[in-house]
Structure 1
Amino acid sequence: MTEFVTTADLVIGYEVDGPADGQAVVAVHGWPDDVHCWDGVVPVLAAEGFRVYRPHLRGFGPTRFRSDGKPRSGQAGALGADLRDFLDALELDDVVIAGHDWGARAGYVVGALFPDRVRSLVAMSAGHGASGPHAPLPYPLAHAYWYEWFVATCRGRETMRTDRRGFSRYLWESWSPGWDFTDAEFDAAARAWDNDDWPDITVSAYLHRWGEMAGDPAYEDIEERLAEVPAVRVPTLVLHGADDRDNLPATSEGKAELFGERYQRLVIDGVGHFVPREAPARTAREILRWIAEE
């Protein structure tokens, strides 16, 4: 059953599993995906005594803005602030954050700028400081990021509204070419994209990322700090699929200097972009190992 918590800007829906007194793991999904990406991971963590929280990101599922006038921004600073506010609202401490894709980016923001409640971070399928107006952009990566430019066009923006399922299915298939997902898996995730804010947040996320759209002024201070690519100040494990055709594995290479605590990066053979879906047992095992080795 979905539970809800209220922050300054949002009413955040979240799922929670595991013993009430277990150490908190906050598992944050990516785009285009939803909390079901962790379905194969949660039972393993819960069986080991962890309390697993899965928040729905802004623009996804039951999460709603409290004000009609709040900008529907998908910028990294907003995602990070939402995660910080979620931890604060539930008074979660000593938290392990597991983040995939957008969830990883939110985790990097919190780990770098708001680490007080965080014990460690496991980030998947996204590199810290790997995108932005001034980030290196080799042509193979620009090719992989075609969809981020597509949303800058009128046709792309209309597609976000009228064919979000067809568009996202193509991304699932092309980003993880070796993954044979089921219609049921896809349909369960796709229901989260029926949120009326999903198109605007999607467009904002990618245009802001490349300096083509202004962000919400409320996050200006956070964005200024992120522009300097601050070091993540919690122990961090990065998992990346060797066959990721979206955020190419190179985007998380050579980043050790951006982590101020214990750091490790693992590339998983035979896995594409959707690490927790394609390799749930391996994902759970690596999360548990990372926690145990602290």
Structure 2
Amino acid sequence: MINRRGFGTAVGVSAAAVSLTGVRGPQIASAATAAAAAPGTHAAFPQLKQIRAGLLNVGYAELGPAHGPAVICLHGWPYDIHSYVDVAPMLAEAGYRVVVPYLRGHGTTRFLSERTFRNAQQSAIALDIIALMDALKIEKAVLAGFDWGSRTADIIAALWPDRCKALVSVSGYLITNLEANLKPLSASAEHTWWYQYYFATERGRLAMEDKTLRHDLTRLVWETVSPTWDFDDATFERTAAAFDNPDYAAVVIHNYRWRLGLADGEHRYDALERRLATRPVIEVPTITLDPERDPFTAPGNGASYRDRFTGAYEHRTLMGIGHNLPQEAPAAFAQAVVDVSHI
């Protein structure tokens, strides 16, 4: 049994802004020690599944009992479902039905129609997950994610709280405000976002379409945003295979250009984007996680987004951990899911 002290020792967890005091789920069980939950314990998922959902044929991993409480784990960029390769078995062992989908443009997920615009604006991706839940007959789930996955989970929690039992969001409140994105940041912050501006150019688009250049660019991002994560070549290559999706470049480029106001979305999502522009609060029970060594982590130990969460809430900072938090600190991520689901 992994106790909380073991988590704190293993990944340097500190808690702040706690309002869930005394509310804890059962501790994640493993082979008996925290060492069994170390990053890299698992190399792959069981055989993947496919299902038609909305505009997509979604590829996904599923572990755990079919009638267990549902948890949907959402990856970011430049990552894939393997960010949860150690998290998912721990949650499945604890009795959860764990679903880990490839987002549009990644892995084995495909658009059903060649005519569909390869759109990656935030509301479109969120609706993909609602459609997946419908297809899998999941009425309500704990949503957990980082990067694109945090944003997607935040949106569902804010706009469709009836579908979200609880939320684990790495880096807090990530719903995009297009107007705010037009304002310059500090020089150091702009430097951290270098690839976003690269993708705004034709050179950046061509680089994402070139397999070798894409490979080297995404690996560089891994190295710079997770400076303490000593991943090996095999770990990166397992994820990089998901970037060979024929729609990958188009989806990634549109996502970052849309965020900067350099690419249009689709009118069908206008009403949702207007609601998101108001920065809607999230009322479902939430644990936010800040990776301390992630260059994107805002200062203030979660203070910058605290007012966006109005329900039961706890914030945790993971010392020494970088951007790909669930793969770097799987035990701490899994425990957050268990804890937030037992409020």
Sort the TM-score into its range (normalised by shorter chain): over 0.9
| TM-score normalised by length of structure 1 | 0.95
Question: How far apart, in 2, do the equivalents of 1:8 and 1:278 lie?
Answer: 32
SS at match of 1:240: strand
Note if 1:283 corresponds to 2:333.
yes
> Aligned residue for 2:85?
39
Shift of 1:266: 1.5
> Aligned residue for 1:5?
51
Question: How far apart, in 2, do the equivalents of 1:253 and 1:206 lie?
Answer: 26
Task: Determine which of 248, 258, 261 is the counterpart of 2:297.
Answer: 248
Question: How far apart, in 1, do the equivalents of 2:306 and 2:146 lie?
Answer: 19
Shift of 1:75: 1.1
Residues 241-276 of structure 1 show CA distances to partners (whole Å, capped at 9, x for unaligned) of: 11102x233395421221231122211100010101
Any gaps of 5 or more consecutive residues in structure 1?
none
Question: How far apart, in 2, do the equivalents of 1:17 and 1:189 lie?
Answer: 19
Task: List 4+ stretches of structure 1 deviating above 6 A.
Answer: none
Are the aligned partners of 2:167 and 2:284 in contact in 1 as well (CA < 8 Å)? yes
Task: Determine which of 134, 145, 154 is the counterpart of 1:88.
Answer: 134
Note if 1:153 corresponds to 2:210.
no
> Aligned residue for 1:117?
163
> Aligned residue for 1:187?
237
Give the letter for the 2:305 counterpart: K
Task: Determine which of 197, 200, 203 is the counterpart of 2:250.
Answer: 200
Give the letter for the 2:58 counterpart: I
Residues 25-62 of structure 1 show CA distances to partners (whole Å, capped at 9, x for unaligned) of: 01111111110110111111111100100111000011
Are the aligned partners of 2:290 and 2:317 in contact in 1 as well (CA < 8 Å)? yes
Question: How far apart, in 2, do the equivalents of 1:130 and 1:253 lie?
Answer: 18
Are the aligned partners of 2:54 and 2:128 in contact in 1 as well (CA < 8 Å)? no
Are the aligned partners of 1:141 and 1:248 in contact in 2 as well (CA < 8 Å)? no
1:182/1:126 Cα in 2 relative to 1: closer, same or farther (>3 Å)?
A: farther
Question: How far apart, in 1, do the equivalents of 2:80 and 2:145 lie?
Answer: 12
Are the aligned partners of 2:176 and 2:277 in contact in 1 as well (CA < 8 Å)? no
Note if 1:99 corresponds to 2:113.
no
**What's the % identity of the aligned pairs?**
36
Question: How far apart, in 2, do the equivalents of 1:83 and 1:46 lie?
Answer: 20
The more displaced of 181-190 and 213-222 is 213-222
Give the letter for the 1:188 counterpart: R
Any gaps of 5 or more consecutive residues in structure 2?
1-46
SS at match of 1:272: coil
Are the aligned partners of 1:4 and 1:14 in contact in 2 as well (CA < 8 Å)? yes
Report the aligned-residue RMSD.
1.6
> Aligned residue for 2:189?
141
Question: How far apart, in 1, do the equivalents of 2:303 and 2:235 lie?
Answer: 30
Are the aligned partners of 2:226 and 2:294 in contact in 1 as well (CA < 8 Å)? yes
Shift of 1:156: 0.7
Are the aligned partners of 2:155 and 2:175 in contact in 1 as well (CA < 8 Å)? no
Q: How many aligned residue pairs are there?
A: 292
Note if 1:270 corresponds to 2:320.
yes
> Aligned residue for 1:23?
69
Shift of 1:220: 1.5
1:193/1:126 Cα in 2 relative to 1: closer, same or farther (>3 Å)?
A: farther
Question: How far apart, in 1, do the equivalents of 2:269 and 2:196 lie?
Answer: 22
SS at match of 1:44: helix
Give the letter for the 1:220 counterpart: D
Residues 72-101 of structure 1 show CA distances to partners (whole Å, capped at 9, x for unaligned) of: 111111111111111122121231111111
> Aligned residue for 2:35?
none
Question: How far apart, in 1, do the equivalents of 2:280 and 2:173 lie?
Answer: 13
